[in-house]
Amino acid sequence: MKATLYLYLDADKGWLASATLDAEVDRLWRLDAEWAAEAAKEAGASPPRPAEAMLVCGAPLPLGAAYEAAASWNRHGPVPAGAACREQLLRASRPAAPGGAAPLRLPEAAEALRRLARAALAPDGPERPSGEPPVTAAMPRHGSGGAAAALARAACAAARALRGRALLRGEAQARLAAAGAGSDAALQLAALLGRLRLGGAVAAGRCQRCGSGEAQLLRTACGACGSSRCASCQACLALGRSRECGLLVLGMPAQAGRGGAGLAPPEQLPPAAERLRRWGLSPAQSAAAASALAFLERPLQPPPALGLRPRLAALMRAALPSAGLLRLPPLHRGAAAAAGRLFRRTRRHKPAEPHPSFLLWAVTGAGKTEMIFPLLESVLSRGGRALVATPRRDVVLELEPRLRRAFPDTPPVTLYGGSPQREEDGRLTLATTHQLLRFRESFDLIVLDELDAFPFAGDAMLHEAAARSGAAGSRTVLLTATPPPSLQRLARLGRLPHAKVPVRYHRHPLPVPRLLRTPSALGMAAAGRMPSSLRQAMARSLDRGAQLFVFVPAIRSAEPVARLIRKLFSDRGEVAATHSQDPERADKVVRFRQKQLRVLVTTTILERGVTIPVSDVFILDADSRIFDEASLVQSAGRAGRSAADPQGFVWFAAASPSASQKRAIRQIRLMNRAARKAGYLLSGSASSRRFHSTF
């Protein structure tokens, strides 16, 4: 796509450059005072000061190059006669033209604009494109006032619809088509009014949508803008191509409350305890929800100095119960602060300051979703915008009906790849984490569910997208059964406010996994038999009427293991295998839920989000690297989830007891212990059927 570059003469600042999608709109806005006044009045803005002259480059430039050239002119002043290419243009760090000097005369300015356009067109080197870019002086034409109000209305509608969004041109047009405001002219006027920001989707060596740097950019010859090195971002391709000559439309931050008044103060709401009661939470759930709610409704504190001392103090606070008394003497305080500054300067990566976050660490089956309802309610009833985001689409689809039931007045807008609700707008949004690339400064509360799941866990791009989707002063609630070690550590050090829910909603302890020593899954399948310990364990589970989850680490072992189980337990019902590449995966999961399948052999894809009332879990090759502590805890969490059968069996079958297995068991035991200590367990269940590992 191309854009037009032009210069206009401001009475105070001299010649300024700008790029536009529709030069006609800019001409009217800058030169036709009557038109501009009418448009500004319709939009409720102050009219611009008319420009004294305007020079338009007749040949449209690649969009990214045009915006870049305009920015370079406004920062550094006119291009020196020697600079022939864009690289030189950007490298020359000249001071802006001195304010006292008289502005260039019209012919000189025209020549300077021609030079600027030439430099923008030849980014690679001194070779010049054939022909001179024509430059014309735009003249004010009067009596075109009628259309101003209509266009201004369209511009305001566009600005409203794009609040809190970051959209490519096609997406913005699709969104605005309903409002009849999708034209480039409306977008351009909204930008002139200062209610939108337009620019190249890739600019200054970075994808402006997803934040990926040069490593993710691919520069190719482009048929759309004619550049020979038009950069496109390969990291966020899944949501449409972000490229240098493509337009990215950034809306203003979304505003909470009526008329943008911001979140209403929590004092207006009924007391927290009263609000919590309505959701029918268990004691552990409501205690955790209460502290999350307190975090959410507490006013923000001023940023503390991020030095060594607060860290030390936090560490001591965590270590010593009487930490409130601990104070460093002033001299030491100064030394520590200096050391802290030194420490900070020598660190290689300065992390961007994190959002205020709260970790809700709830064991599998604790009823996490119910706990976020009071949080969402708090923000929604104060007029704010709330987001529930999760890496997995299946989780989105499962949460949707529950959120709809809980909030009938503000039904969630559900967003995922191919979602039919893409153009809708609501105050409660439920989305996959990829969709957050399309939001910017939009939400007052971000609830991030299953944050340690693929693909969010290891994807810096999605982390950045999530962080940027929060509005100023937004809060984040992180929700998981298995926080990554870095979060656990922060929570331990007291740097991350958090609440643990160590017990399931039915108030029985988590089943503690037991270890079994077996050969590898493929080995057993090849031999056609299992060790008697494993066979007896499976037989016992089948005898008690349970359905079996059998987890294997690799796709290639799924089907052989299913065959083995089919052979050994031929009269016990149907056995199936599934994995991420299985086209019938959804169908098999449904059949498993409907109890048509007795045993489901699966890879880690089903470690989260599937609830089967009476089920036991077998993890084969539990010493595989695929099964880390989090994965084992999640898989073990498939057992004993219903109140009717709260104590399923979990077996880790492996050639050797790996460190992850031991840590997973330890984590589950710690949670059970915490639950018992806090008195959350039902009295009868506390000591019933405690398992000991065979090692």
Question: Measured from the CB of residue 470, what is the shortest distance to another protein in angstroms?
Answer: 8
Closer to another protein by Cβ: residue 105 or 345: 345
Q: How many residues bind another protein (CB under 8 A)?
A: 93
Which residues ranging from 335 to 354 are in contact with another protein (CB under 8 A)? 348-354
* 66 is a site residue for another protein (CB under 8 A): no
Output the smallest distance, CB 106 to another protein, in A.
27
Closest to another protein by CB, 199 or 609 = 199
64 contacts 72 by C-beta, under 8 angstroms:
no
Which residues inside 447-466 make contact with another protein, applying CB under 8 A?
A: 448, 451, 460-461, 463-464, 466
Place of tokens 């307190």: 294
Answer whether 672's CB lies under 8 Å from 511's CB.
no
Stretch near another protein under the rule CB under 8 A, chosen from 115-123, 331-339, 393-401, 492-500: 492-500
Quote the CA–CA distance of 399 and 450 in Å, as a whole number: 12
* Residue 250 in the binding site for another protein (CB under 8 A): yes
401 versus 473: smaller Cβ distance to another protein: 473
The rounded distance, in Å, linking the Cα atoms of 254 and 320 is 43
R_g of the chain, CA atoms, integer Å: 31
Q: Are 576 and 643 in contact (CB under 8 A)?
A: no
Q: Please tell me what DSSP assigns to residue 260.
A: G
485 makes contact with another protein (CB under 8 A): yes
Which CB sits closer to another protein, 232 or 634?
232
Decide if 621 contacts 553 (C-beta within 8 A).
yes
- Is 19 a residue that touches another protein (CB under 8 A)? no
Stretch that binds another protein, among 307-315, 333-341, 411-419, 536-544 (CB under 8 A): 307-315
If one asks whether residue 302 binds another protein (CB under 8 A), the answer comes out as: yes
Contact between 626 and another protein per CB under 8 A: no
Q: Does 208 bind another protein (CB under 8 A)?
A: yes
To 10 degrees, the CA torsion angle through 198, 201, 203, 205? Answer: 160
Tokens 């807008």 locate to 413
Give the β-pairing of 574-578 and 597-602: parallel
Q: If DSSP codes are grouped into helix, strand and coil, which group holds residue 380?
A: helix
224 contributes a contact to another protein by CB under 8 A: yes
H helices of 454-554, in order, are: 460-468, 485-493, 521-527, 532-543
State which of positions 354-383 bind another protein (CB under 8 A). 354-357
Residue with tokens 């470690």: 607
Residue 372 or 619 with smaller CB distance to another protein: 372
**Residue 403 is a binding residue for another protein (CB under 8 A):** no
Separation between Cα atoms, residue 35 and residue 192, nearest integer Å: 13
* CB neighbour list of residue 92: distance below 8 Å, 6 or more residues apart: 76, 80, 83
In the set 126, 143, 304, 418, which binds another protein (CB under 8 A)? 304
Angle at 299 between CA 294 and CA 304, to 5 degrees: 110
Cα(30)–Cα(48) distance, integer angstroms: 7
In one-letter notation, the amino acid at residue 243 is R
- With beta carbons less than 8 A apart as the criterion, state whether 343 and 312 touch: no
Maximum CA pair distance of the chain?
A: 96
Span near another protein by CB under 8 A; candidates 325-333, 483-491, 569-577, 621-629: 483-491
Residues 427-446 interacting with another protein (rule: CB under 8 A)? 446
Q: Which of 310, 411, 531, 573 contacts another protein by CB under 8 A?
A: 310
Q: Provide, rounded to whole angstroms, the least separation between the CB of residue 443 and another protein.
A: 12
Q: Does 203 bind another protein (CB under 8 A)?
A: yes
Using rule CB under 8 A, residue 258 touches another protein = no
Q: Is 257 in the site for another protein (CB under 8 A)?
A: no
288 lies in the site for another protein, by CB under 8 A? yes
Based on the shown chain and the rule CB under 8 A, indicate whether residue 125 belongs to the binding site for another protein.
no
Say whether residue 241 binds another protein (CB under 8 A). Answer: yes
Q: Does 234 bind another protein (CB under 8 A)?
A: yes
Site for another protein in 67-96 (CB under 8 A): 71
- Residue 131 CB neighbour total at 10 angstroms: 8
| Cα 414 from chain centroid (whole Å) | 15
Q: Residue 262 or residue 411: which is nearer to another protein going by CB? A: 262
**Comparing C-alpha atoms, which of 606, 596, 673 is closest to residue 636?**
606
Secondary structure of residue 545 in the 3-state scheme: coil
Q: Among residue numbers 154 through 193, which ones bind another protein (CB under 8 A)? A: 191
Residues 24-63 that bind another protein (CB under 8 A): 45-46
Minimum CB separation of residue 218 from another protein in Å reads 6
CB proximity list for 346: less than 8 A, separation 6 or greater: none
Cβ closest to another protein, residue 348 vs residue 692: 348
Q: Which stretch binds another protein (CB under 8 A): 78-86, 119-127, 476-484, 584-592?
A: 476-484
Nearer to another protein by Cβ, of 619 and 681: the residue is 681
The answer to whether 510 and 672 have CB atoms below 8 angstroms apart is yes
Give the helix/strand (H/E) hosting 147. Answer: helix 146-161
Tell the smallest beta-carbon distance from residue 74 to another protein (Å). Answer: 10
Phi, psi of 473 (to 5 degrees): 75, 15
Q: Which of 150, 178, 221, 316 binds another protein (CB under 8 A)?
A: 221
- Structural contact between residues 16 and 74, judged by C-beta atoms closer than 8 angstroms: yes
**Closest CB to another protein among residues 300, 325:** 300
Peptide bond into 129 cis (omega under 30): no
Are 182 and 145 spatial neighbours (Cβ–Cβ below 8 Å)?
no
By CB under 8 A, residue 300 contacts another protein: yes
Which of these segments, 80-88, 267-275, 480-488, 595-603, binds another protein (CB under 8 A)? 480-488
Question: In 3-state terms, the chain is what percent helix, strand and coil (to 5)?
Answer: 40, 20, 40
Among candidate residues 352, 410, 354, 402, the one with its CA nearest the CA of residue 380 = 410
Q: Which of 47, 58, 426, 494 binds another protein (CB under 8 A)?
A: 494
Footprint on residues 547-576 left by another protein (CB under 8 A): none
Q: Report in angstroms how near the CB of residue 598 gets to another protein at its nearest.
A: 31
Q: Among 223, 259, 321, 420, indicate the residue that binds another protein (CB under 8 A).
A: 223
Smallest distance from another protein to CB 71, Å:
8
Convert 610-628 to b/e letters by CB count within 10 Å (16 or more is b).
Answer: bebebbbbbbbbbbbeebb
Report the 10 Å Cβ neighbour count for 243. Answer: 29
Nearer to another protein, 260 or 401 (CB): 260
In the complex with another protein, the residue whose CB is nearer, 67 or 618, is: 67
Q: Which of 16, 92, 269, 678 binds another protein (CB under 8 A)?
A: 678
The answer to the question of residue 478 lying near another protein (CB under 8 A) is yes
Residue 117 and residue 132: Cα distance in Å, rounded? 9
Taking CB under 8 A as the binding criterion, the range among 58-66, 133-141, 195-203, 605-613 that sits at the site for another protein is 195-203
Q: Does 311 engage in binding with another protein (CB under 8 A)?
A: yes
